[in-house]
Structure 1
Amino acid sequence: MDQRATDPDILRHSLKDNPGPEDYLFLFFKNTPTSQAAGKEFLQRLGQRTTGPDAPTSLATRDHQLTAWSEWGITDKSKLVRLKSLFQPVLVADGESDILMPVENSRLLAEHLPDARLHIYPDAGHGFLYQYAVKFGTEVNTFLDR
């Protein structure tokens, strides 16, 4: 089984019914001063949002996501072979220190997709898109405009 599914620190932070800022910082941002500072800035921005808030997720949703997350580590080479038949362009992005979906998975995905563009963000974890919001948004727009 994938180490992520049994890592006590990851489980302790991800299985809380009411996660707090320290949990989000641990799970989504690399444990460096710059990444943690970016995480705190993101949490402040998130708290300032007054219109169009996202609907809260349920514990059942969290549990389904954790099941899918745990099962992703079980290698099924037939699924990788099937990726070769997807010819539409795909943007694959990740943080170089993602503890929830390791960057090796993103590299593997991009390697098996015929028209993939891979971008790995430095000093970042699973929350790379929040840490590099403007840069990632620009990259998404550029990718969609091509």
Structure 2
Amino acid sequence: MTQLAIANEDVATLETAPTHYVEGHGIRFAYRRLGPATGTPLVLLQHFSGNIDAWDPAVVNALATNRPVIAFDNAGVGRSTGQTPDNIAAMARDAVAFINLLGVSEVDLLGFSLGGCVAQQIAAEHERLVRKLILVGTAPKGGEEHLLAVLQQAFSQTDAPDPRLPLFFTNSSASRLSGLAFLKRTQVRKNDRDIDNGSAVTDPQAKALITWCATPDPDHAILRAIRQPTLVVSGSHDTMLPANNAYAMSRELSNAQLVLYPDSGHGALFQHHEIFVSHVRTFLDAPPSVA
């Protein structure tokens, strides 16, 4: 199954790769796999309300030039069946079930926003499964979030071509131009696009993220259970999950590097996609002992 799924996809892009499916535990997971057939796969864990086609091709395709990259829809999201859980622990269990169904014994994880919370849970509970961890625009358990307020403000800007422009980017002209370019890149794929499941996904996801941040973790148990090398990334002006979360995580993690991008919001990885990819490659390619 795995060899069939990856055949001829070493030259595919996020915009052209076929969507594959793998089924188990009562869920049929949708995913796309890019890059070479060998190497430690980098599994992408998506943001609140996002699906496979919400990823930036400039990020995903560049990362896949020298490593396998897997973008997937967790339970209930996009073309995956099942019900979207309303808690991070269940989302993590479903993600691990998907990885196990692929027959992969070791992965790197890149978790963005809500996906970063899920990635923390997985890394804390499955040390042997996760080799390295990248946390982008996310928060620790008990961290600071302004999800509903930021969403309300973004959707009130009726002149914006897409809510993601005010959600992910700052008001500076440079950031907005980067945002418009990002939106254009995400619309290149026309056929077999992923689907939006609306409130069936966003309602439980919002509850999961808000509960995660509202649950105190004074001893930083999740962060301190993460032993893997970790790259923590944030935008300097992230209004949804502020950059002080990134600093707090880097301070409590046992082996973490912190990167803060200037004049950027929640979508810093998309605005600064070239340098972000460079940072990720350097981090993933470094020997674990010096990561």
Q: TM-score range by the shorter chain?
A: 0.7 to 0.9
The 5-angstrom pairing of residues 35-114 of structure 1 reads: 35-50=175-190, 53=193, 55-59=194-198, 60-74=200-214, 76-78=216-218, 80-114=220-254
Matched, 1:4 2:143: no
Summarize deviations over 1:68-127 as a string: whole Å, max 9, x none: 232243251346144223221011101111111111111111111010111011000111
| Distance in 2 separating the partners of 1:121 and 1:5 | 21
| Distance in 2 separating the partners of 1:52 and 1:108 | 40
| Distance in 1 separating the partners of 2:250 and 2:242 | 13
Contact 1:28 1:126 in 2 (8 A): yes
| Distance in 1 separating the partners of 2:147 and 2:182 | 26
Code of the residue aligned with 1:13 in structure 2: it is: A
Contact 1:81 1:112 in 2 (8 A): no
Give the SS at the match of 1:94.
strand
| Distance in 2 separating the partners of 1:66 and 1:50 | 28
Contact 2:170 2:265 in 1 (8 A): yes
| Distance in 2 separating the partners of 1:123 and 1:12 | 19
**Alignment RMSD, CA only?**
2.5
| Distance in 1 separating the partners of 2:259 and 2:192 | 29
Uncovered stretches (5+) of structure 2, i.e. residues with no partner: 1-143, 287-291
Contact 2:145 2:242 in 1 (8 A): no
Pairwise CA distance, 1:44: 1.3
Q: Could you say if the C-alpha distance between residues 47 and 5 of structure 1 is closer, same or farther in structure 2, counting changes exceeding 3 Å? A: closer
1:13 pairs with 147, 154, 162, which one?
Answer: 154
Summarize deviations over 1:33-71 as a string: whole Å, max 9, x none: 111110001111222235775x23422222222222322
| Distance in 2 separating the partners of 1:52 and 1:115 | 40
Pairwise CA distance, 1:6: 5.1
Uncovered stretches (5+) of structure 1, i.e. residues with no partner: none
| Distance in 2 separating the partners of 1:99 and 1:49 | 29
Contact 2:231 2:256 in 1 (8 A): yes
Matched, 1:137 2:277: yes
Contact 1:21 1:43 in 2 (8 A): no
TM-score normalised by the chain length of structure 1 = 0.81
Normalized per residue, the structure richer in strand is 2
Q: Could you say if the C-alpha distance between residues 38 and 48 of structure 1 is closer, same or farther in structure 2, counting changes exceeding 3 Å? A: same
| Distance in 1 separating the partners of 2:249 and 2:217 | 12
TM-score normalised by the chain length of structure 2 = 0.43
Deviates further, 117-126 or 69-78: 69-78
User: Percent same amino acid among aligned pairs?
Assistant: 32
Normalized per residue, the structure richer in helix is 1
Give the SS at the match of 1:10.
helix
Code of the residue aligned with 2:229 in structure 1: it is: P
